[in-house]
């Protein structure tokens, strides 16, 4: 591999060196403060496989994505090769298509090979990116963002390697308790078959509860009109089929999504190994590929069991979103309640909802998500009176989103604008687009597309500033926690939006608990600067994930 020494200005400070082996090259240079490379996801797993860990890195292609976003150029190709072409004015190569949605080991055979750049070219792109940081609204924050994101890439690669401790025996036991015996031939297990029979008996004819169309028809024949078989619509219906039907749906879900075949597919050698993908969404939240790792049902968490003599430190950020909203909006009232470690929803409720915590929580989340009706909306007025700056902050974001202006998180992560220009990246990101063909013209108001999508974009932007700023903060948290764990046997094994699990020897558990608390405070200071807002965690030291709640 090629190695380039960088000077204090981040530019090429000497001749490009050639090393025969990546791992050896890295191992031989412990003094390197930060490795700059094209893509952590492609480089770092190979290093980890040979037992080499790096302290810090700078991921050029991830930074390119963030910088392009900040510059309002969301749709442009984000590869290092594309960045170089833009720099030199040449034809810009399109990004390789996203990986096929179809899972399966073979898919990687057909993935296009990444374009590798000669090292001096890569350094040139890097140097230009450093200059582009300076042109952002808050260069110091943008540098922090790309650094934090790169750290997140390291964490993700390390978690992918570690895997989540998983007891197949316990999992099978849980499945048997819930679903009963399996029958030969791979059909429904006993309990599901029984429930399906109960549903059919209640309707007086054979009904397949896993087929929504069949269920809707059966209800219609019983004189009950339902538009769908969603739980919230069905559960208020007065009919003997409802109870077994809802129970069936719950268990069916477990069976198809986390049943025996899931176990077969995803658990090897006592570990569940999903692929964590940092920066998987535009808000900065991570996603996972494989095994539905971010949707492990509560009952299945009994199968997450620490190694003998080890513990799981399960840590959950308390009321993360309203605390983040307090930090970014600087609303005096909200900062005051977020400046305490006690239950924030209770404090809000004491101030604005005469003690009804549930109402307060609904109102806060409604404000963040852009609720348009129901109790949350009603209570929004009370929230607005007490915390005007906080509500105004998300209202402003929503308006900006509706008008197609750029919306950013605290550190500068930028929401894709609804270009209305057929922007593919925006489409991919799931931002609602107006379809010109369906936009009514010459009409004041028509129920449907245009206004619906505009409002949806507003809700997206409203949520983006909070969810995305929270993601900014959690990246700094992970980076700090990773730093501490580097000196111990402890390993980060799971991360889900506002929750982290560390697997460690029993004797390290209390140190890890303290490390999480310290990391949260440090992340708060680094991300938001001077702020009274606290970021407490609820931590539990357990042998089994299910015991954490």
Partner DNA sequence: AGTTTCGGCGCC
Partner DNA sequence: AAAGGGCGCCGAAACT
Query: Given the rule CB under 7 A, which of 47-55, 121-129, 224-232, 440-448 is the region that contacts DNA?
Result: 224-232
Shortest reach from residue 271's CB to DNA, in Å: 16
Q: Which of residues 337-396 bind DNA (CB under 7 A)?
A: 362, 365-366, 369-376
Query: Residue 439 half-sphere exposure, CB side, CA atoms within 13 Å?
Result: 10
CA separation (Å) from 113 to 60, 97, 108, 519?
Answer: 17, 11, 10, 38
Q: Is residue 502 near DNA by the rule CB under 7 A?
A: no
Shortest reach from residue 149's CB to DNA, in Å: 16
Query: Given the rule CB under 7 A, which of 121-129, 288-296, 326-334, 509-517 is the region that contacts DNA?
Result: 288-296
Q: Is residue 233 near DNA by the rule CB under 7 A?
A: yes
Show the tokens assigned to 488. Answer: 């111990």
Residue with smaller CB distance to DNA, 430 or 532: 430
Residue with smaller CB distance to DNA, 27 or 239: 239
Edge-to-edge strands, sheet with 267-268: 164-165, 271-272, 267-268
CA separation (Å) from 196 to 231, 500, 513?
Answer: 16, 38, 46
CA dist., res. 223 & res. 426, Å (int): 44
CB 164 within 8 A of CB 272: yes
Instruction: Give the residue, chosen from 75, 139, 180, 297, that forms a contact with DNA under the rule CB under 7 A.
Output: 297
Q: Is residue 152 near DNA by the rule CB under 7 A?
A: no
Shortest reach from residue 94's CB to DNA, in Å: 18
Q: Is residue 508 near DNA by the rule CB under 7 A?
A: no
Q: Is residue 289 near DNA by the rule CB under 7 A?
A: yes
- Vertex 194: Cα angle to 192 and 198 (nearest 5): 115
Distance of CA 442 to the CA centre of its chain: 41
CA dist., res. 426 & res. 428, Å (int): 5
Shortest reach from residue 41's CB to DNA, in Å: 15
Query: Given the rule CB under 7 A, which of 88-96, 276-284, 500-508, 528-536 is the region that contacts DNA?
Result: 276-284
Instruction: Give the residue, chosen from 298, 437, 441, 445, that forms a contact with DNA under the rule CB under 7 A.
Output: 298
Q: Is residue 280 near DNA by the rule CB under 7 A?
A: yes
CA dist., res. 530 & res. 533, Å (int): 9
Query: Given the rule CB under 7 A, which of 107-115, 142-150, 279-287, 406-414 is the region that contacts DNA?
Result: 279-287
Q: Is residue 46 near DNA by the rule CB under 7 A?
A: no
Shortest reach from residue 450's CB to DNA, in Å: 15
Shortest reach from residue 315's CB to DNA, in Å: 11
Contact code string over 248-267 relative to DNA, x by CB under 7 A: -xx--x--xx----x--x--
Q: Which of residues 72-91 bind DNA (CB under 7 A)?
A: none
Q: Which of residues 465-484 bind DNA (CB under 7 A)?
A: 467
Of 191, 313, 282, whose CA–CA distance to 464 is shortest?
Answer: 282
Q: Is residue 537 near DNA by the rule CB under 7 A?
A: no
Instruction: Give the residue, chosen from 55, 496, 517, 521, that forms a contact with DNA under the rule CB under 7 A.
Output: 496
Query: Given the rule CB under 7 A, which of 187-195, 226-234, 335-343, 528-536 is the region that contacts DNA?
Result: 226-234
CB 370 within 8 A of CB 462: yes
CB 317 within 8 A of CB 535: yes
Residue with smaller CB distance to DNA, 83 or 218: 218
Name residues whose C-beta falls within 8 Å of residue 186's C-beta, 6 or more positions apart in sequence.
none
Q: Is residue 294 near DNA by the rule CB under 7 A?
A: yes
CA separation (Å) from 507 to 96, 162, 501, 542?
Answer: 47, 20, 16, 13
Q: Is residue 451 near DNA by the rule CB under 7 A?
A: no
Q: Is residue 220 near DNA by the rule CB under 7 A?
A: no
Q: What percentage of the chain's residues is helix, strand, coil (to nearest 5)? A: 55, 10, 35
Instruction: Give the residue, chosen from 217, 230, 268, 385, that forms a contact with DNA under the rule CB under 7 A.
Output: 230
Of 200, 213, 187, whose CA–CA distance to 244 is shortest?
Answer: 200
* Burial class (CB within 10 angstroms; exposed 0-12, middle 13-18, buried 19+) of 450: middle
Residue with smaller CB distance to DNA, 110 or 441: 110
Q: Is residue 110 near DNA by the rule CB under 7 A?
A: no
Shortest reach from residue 330's CB to DNA, in Å: 23
CA dist., res. 254 & res. 244, Å (int): 15
Rg of the chain over all Cα atoms, to the nearest angstrom: 26
Edge-to-edge strands, sheet with 537-542: 491-495, 499-505, 310-317, 537-542
Residue with smaller CB distance to DNA, 374 or 529: 374
Q: At what angle do helices 320-329 and 509-528 cross, to 10 degrees?
A: 30
Can you give the binding site for DNA, defined by CB under 7 A? 101-103, 210-214, 216, 228-234, 236, 249-250, 253, 256-257, 262, 265, 274, 280-283, 285, 287-292, 294-298, 362, 365-366, 369-376, 429-431, 456, 459-460, 463, 467, 496-499
């Amino acid at each position: 591999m090629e190695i380039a020494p960088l000077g204090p200005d981040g530019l090429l400070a000497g001749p490009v060196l050639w090393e025969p082996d990546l791992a050896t090259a890295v191992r031989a240079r412990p003094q390197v403060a930060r490795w700059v490379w094209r893509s952590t996801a492609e480089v770092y797993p190979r290093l980890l496989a040979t037992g080499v860990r790096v302290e810090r890195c700078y991921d050029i292609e991830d930074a390119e994505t963030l910088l392009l976003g900040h510059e309002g150029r969301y749709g442009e190709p984000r590869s290092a090769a594309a960045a170089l072409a833009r720099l030199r004015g040449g034809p810009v190569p399109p990004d390789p298509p996203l990986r096929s949605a179809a899972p399966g080991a073979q898919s990687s055979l057909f993935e296009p090979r990444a374009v590798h750049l000669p090292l001096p070219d890569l350094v040139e792109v890097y140097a230009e990116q450093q200059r582009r940081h300076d042109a952002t609204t808050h260069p110091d924050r943008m540098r922090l963002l790309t650094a934090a994101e790169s750290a997140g890439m390291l964490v993700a690669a390390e978690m992918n390697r570690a895997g989540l401790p998983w007891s197949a025996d316990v999992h099978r036991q849980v499945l048997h308790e819930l679903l009963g015996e399996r029958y030969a031939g791979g059909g429904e297990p006993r309990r599901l078959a029984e429930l399906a029979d109960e549903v059919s008996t209640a309707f007086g004819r054979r009904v397949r509860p896993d087929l929504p169309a069949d269920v809707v028809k059966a209800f219609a024949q019983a004189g009950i009109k339902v538009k769908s078989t969603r739980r919230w619509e069905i559960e208020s219906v007065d009919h003997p089929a409802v109870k077994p039907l809802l129970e069936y749906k719950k268990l069916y879900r477990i069976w198809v999504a986390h049943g025996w075949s899931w176990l077969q597919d995803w658990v090897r050698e006592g570990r569940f190994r999903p692929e964590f993908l940092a920066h998987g969404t535009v808000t900065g939240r991570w996603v996972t590929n494989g095994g539905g790792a971010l949707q492990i049902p509560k009952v299945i968490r009994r199968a997450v069991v620490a190694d003998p003599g080890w513990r799981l430190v399960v840590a959950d950020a308390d009321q993360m979103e309203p605390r983040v909203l307090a930090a970014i909006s600087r609303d005096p009232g909200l900062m005051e309640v977020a400046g305490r470690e006690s239950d924030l929803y209770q404090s809000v409720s004491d101030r604005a909802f005469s003690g009804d915590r549930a109402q307060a929580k609904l109102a806060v989340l409604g404000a963040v998500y852009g609720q348009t009706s129901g109790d949350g909306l009603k209570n929004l007025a009370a929230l607005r009176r007490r915390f005007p700056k906080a509500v105004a902050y998300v209202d402003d974001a929503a308006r900006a989103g509706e008008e197609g202006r750029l919306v950013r998180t605290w550190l500068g992560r930028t929401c894709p604008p609804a270009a209305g220009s057929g922007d593919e990246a925006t489409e991919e990101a799931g931002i609602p687009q107006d379809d010109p063909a369906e936009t009514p013209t010459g009409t004041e108001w028509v129920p449907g597309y245009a206004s619906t999508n505009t409002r949806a974009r507003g809700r997206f932007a409203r949520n983006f500033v909070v969810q995305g700023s929270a993601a900014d903060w959690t990246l700094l948290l992970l980076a700090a926690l990773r730093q501490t764990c580097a000196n111990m046997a402890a390993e980060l094994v799971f991360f889900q939006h506002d929750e982290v699990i560390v697997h460690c020897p029993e004797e390290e558990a209390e140190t890890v608990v303290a490390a999480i608390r310290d990391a949260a405070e440090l992340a708060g200071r680094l991300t938001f600067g001077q702020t009274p807002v606290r970021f407490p965690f609820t931590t539990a030291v357990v042998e089994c994930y299910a015991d954490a709640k």
